[in-house]
């Protein structure tokens, strides 16, 4: 089962993918596990493997990719901060337990 926070993260990611395409987040079902992948294969030319033909399309794709890159970088930073926080909590608990142990005279 997918948690609510995971659904909102997926919705945000899908919104970044559709920037400049005139689509809104309300068009996507966050419970659809393949909705994200189907977005990658949607193309105005019909073939997802043909490159964009106009400069405007290329600029739009570059902007979309940069937006997704920034969002992913932010998520990596948040994940790294979470790992460091958990490591600090672990060290704090270990130090607390060590302080509770009886000392030998």
- What would the pLDDT profile of 17-71 be if each residue is shown by its tens digit? 554 454 444 455 667 766 656 665 565 555 656 666 789 988 998 999 999 999 9
* Residue 105 is assigned to a structural domain of this protein: no
Global pTM value: 0.45
- Residues 60 and 87: their CA atoms lie apart, in Å, by 41
For 82, the domain range is 4-98
* Residue 104 is assigned to a structural domain of this protein: no
Is residue 40 a contact partner of residue 48, using CB atoms and an 8 Å limit? yes
Give the number of domains in the chain: 1
Rg (CA), the chain: 22
- Residues 9 and 46: their CA atoms lie apart, in Å, by 28
* Residue 103 is assigned to a structural domain of this protein: no
* Residue 69 is assigned to a structural domain of this protein: yes
* Residue 33 is assigned to a structural domain of this protein: yes
């Amino acid at each position: 089962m997918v948690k609510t926070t995971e659904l909102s993260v997926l919705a945000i990611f899908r919104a970044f993918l559709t920037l400049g395409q005139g689509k809104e987040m309300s068009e996507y079902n966050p419970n659809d596990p393949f909705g994200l992948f189907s977005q990658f294969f949607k193309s105005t030319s019909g073939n997802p493997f043909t490159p964009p033909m106009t400069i405007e399309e290329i600029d739009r794709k570059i902007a979309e990719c940069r937006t997704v890159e920034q969002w992913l970088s932010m998520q990596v930073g948040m994940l790294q901060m979470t790992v460091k926080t958990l490591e600090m909590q672990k060290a704090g608990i270990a130090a607390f337990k060590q302080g509770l142990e009886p000392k030998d005279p």
